[in-house]
Chain A
């Protein structure tokens, strides 16, 4: 748990951070976001004492940071910055081993830990361990930056625009990989960015800052549903409804659905829809029929419009935003949801998405 209480930082006449109070529960990822000069980086740097606050207190699990030896404190807090700051005269392995070395771990456990971390960030230790930073791409360098920060297994990790300097495609990959790592390791992460999409994607809590103060601290869903001020509303953007839908999974709004069997006689079709879905004997989605076009004496199977389930069906873990996008693209009012084996598990309707979006809560 990171607790900032009435923290204030002045640089001469200028006020960088003004009486800021914030609690970041253990194991959650808190994003500090705001325009340049809003005090987000200053706030982050006060946690590991790279900046000393003018007044107020910062506690980590109850113990005030100013009572701890500054280097000992920092060795127990991971630190990742935008420019990465790898040591150019050291190999990748030596870079990752920085904090274990400072903590005087023995060589064997350090080497084992380095390999473990390179694996964690998706780089082959054999291939990358002996490379120098100048031989790495921007994305690779930042993976090493993350590995180096996690080397001594700190409970807290500070990240200052870690993915800000890489191209959008690499950024997207790094973000999803870090989300996976975070799900596994459950660190307490303070993450500074000015990219609202990144904030919404990564955060458990988004803290929007303006001129040294917190304007709103909320879950991404609530922030998007109820921006506290016009500043936040502008900051999250006009497409906040869509961004919000991106935070929810199809599973959150789907309802159970049944499909017609392929052997069913056309005359026995009793569906409230014109285009009911069809499943095979194992419950796998196979396509749909047009009830206006079937003639007596045929089976559903014979009138079937066959589609590839994996392409046509939504997945439960897919985002509601993507579901909506599919509906608009296909021009349909509802879409089937299937599991990994292609079995029909439910449906999502356009009406349900609209209602969900207006009400602002999950069903």
Chain B
């Protein structure tokens, strides 16, 4: 078990690293696809594309995390419960809407580029964070809240010192889900010119080059793995303390 865990920490990032080194990637794809003329997408380096991809994920996830936690906190306050089903419903609809459609609808309003991509990714990330924030706060035992109130903690102190710390591992689970989904979905950003790892995928699609497609997909998948693992370790570390 320990071996497997250590292997996970080393193997996935190492594979990701190798994918970013042009000669290594070229050799690998030449081996896989000997018949394809080009084995490496050269308009941008994979490192640049990875950087764009990470930026897309980060810029969309951060406000989504803030909005998701904020809305989750709001609807679990006294007086906020009435909006609970409304907010959950809206977030669920945003989640079920096809990402490609959101992109298509956002372009007329926001133009081409990163803006529509960030907007679509933002919408997709809210729901898991919101859902887990609500679940995490709800999981705080009523007796704990009663004791906190009875000892003279006001609503704000209760939220900051009791509810959020206790809900934190669950909220982090939601953030992890959102980020992992985002890494995959962000490849669609290339359609609207947002760059990222979707660029070689689409280029490969257009030029019938499976090496480009696989390269972009592989890097995105490995990135999702690495982020998932890092956030998960944060969760268990914090969860063990609580």
Residues in B neighbouring A75, C-beta threshold 8 A: 151-152
Give A89's nearest chain B residue, CB to CB: B242
Task: Give 1 or 0 for each of B113-156: 1 = CB within 8 Å of chain A CB.
Answer: 00000000000000000000000000001011111111111100
A81 and B157 CA atoms in complex are apart in Å by 20
Given the contacts A84-B143, A85-B144, A89-B241, A74 and B162 also touching, CB distance less than 8 Å: no
A positions within 8 Å CB-CB of B: 48, 50, 70-76, 79, 81-89, 98-99, 102, 145, 148-149, 158
What's the least CB distance linking B50 to chain A, in Å? 36
Q: Are B165 and A79 in contact (CB under 8 A)?
A: no
Given the contacts A71-B153, A102-B157, A89 and B148 also touching, CB distance less than 8 Å: no
Q: How many A-B residue pairs have CB under 8 A?
A: 62
Given the contacts A89-B165, A89-B166, A83 and B152 also touching, CB distance less than 8 Å: no
A149 and B147 CA atoms in complex are apart in Å by 10
Give B238's nearest chain A residue, CB to CB: A89
25 A–B contacts, CB within 8 A, in A order = A50-B150, A70-B152, A71-B152, A71-B153, A71-B154, A72-B152, A74-B150, A74-B151, A74-B152, A75-B151, A79-B151, A81-B146, A83-B143, A85-B145, A85-B147, A87-B148, A88-B242, A89-B242, A98-B151, A98-B153, A99-B151, A102-B151, A102-B153, A145-B147, A149-B151
Q: Are B152 and A85 in contact (CB under 8 A)?
A: no
Give B145's nearest chain A residue, CB to CB: A85
- Contacts A48-B150, A85-B144, A98-B151 aside, 11 further interface pairs with beta carbons under 8 A come to A50-B149, A72-B152, A73-B152, A79-B151, A82-B143, A84-B147, A86-B147, A87-B166, A89-B166, A148-B151, A149-B151
Residues in B neighbouring A83, C-beta threshold 8 A: 141, 143
What's the least CB distance linking A177 to chain B, in Å? 20
Pick from B141, B143, B145, B149: contact of A74, CB under 8 Å: B149
Give A82's nearest chain B residue, CB to CB: B143
Q: Are A99 and B166 in contact (CB under 8 A)?
A: no
A256 and B153 CA atoms in complex are apart in Å by 58
Task: Give 1 or 0 for each of B165-190: 1 = CB within 8 Å of chain A CB.
Answer: 11000000000000000000000000
Q: Are B242 and A85 in contact (CB under 8 A)?
A: no
Q: Are B147 and A88 in contact (CB under 8 A)?
A: no
A148 and B147 CA atoms in complex are apart in Å by 10
B positions within 8 Å CB-CB of A: 141, 143-154, 157, 162, 165-166, 241-242
Give B140's nearest chain A residue, CB to CB: A88
- Identify which of A50, A98, A148, A158 gathers the most chain B CB atoms within 10 Å of its CB: A98
Give B150's nearest chain A residue, CB to CB: A79
What's the least CB distance linking B149 to chain A, in Å? 6
A71 and B157 CA atoms in complex are apart in Å by 11
Pick from B143, B154, B166, B241: contact of A85, CB under 8 Å: B143
A211 and B239 CA atoms in complex are apart in Å by 45
Give B169's nearest chain A residue, CB to CB: A89
Residues in A neighbouring B165, C-beta threshold 8 A: 89
Residues in A neighbouring B141, C-beta threshold 8 A: 83, 85
Q: Are A102 and B148 in contact (CB under 8 A)?
A: no
A122 and B150 CA atoms in complex are apart in Å by 24
What's the least CB distance linking A151 to chain B, in Å? 9
Q: Are B146 and A50 in contact (CB under 8 A)?
A: yes
A85 and B166 CA atoms in complex are apart in Å by 13
Residues in A neighbouring B153, C-beta threshold 8 A: 71, 98, 102
What's the least CB distance linking A66 to chain B, in Å? 16
Q: Are A81 and B242 in contact (CB under 8 A)?
A: no
Top 8 A-B pairs, shortest CB-CB distance: A85-B147, A75-B152, A83-B143, A74-B152, A79-B150, A85-B143, A89-B242, A71-B152
Q: Are A102 and B241 in contact (CB under 8 A)?
A: no
Q: Are B147 and A81 in contact (CB under 8 A)?
A: yes
Pick from A71, A73, A88, A149: contact of B166, CB under 8 Å: A88
What's the least CB distance linking B82 to chain A, in Å? 18
Residues in A neighbouring B147, C-beta threshold 8 A: 79, 81, 84-87, 145
What's the least CB distance linking A258 to chain B, in Å? 57
What's the least CB distance linking A113 to chain B, in Å? 15
A148 and B162 CA atoms in complex are apart in Å by 16
Q: Are A87 and B144 in contact (CB under 8 A)?
A: yes
A70 and B150 CA atoms in complex are apart in Å by 10
What's the least CB distance linking B229 to chain A, in Å? 24
A100 and B157 CA atoms in complex are apart in Å by 14
Residues in B neighbouring A98, C-beta threshold 8 A: 151, 153
A86 and B144 CA atoms in complex are apart in Å by 6
Q: Are B146 and A85 in contact (CB under 8 A)?
A: yes
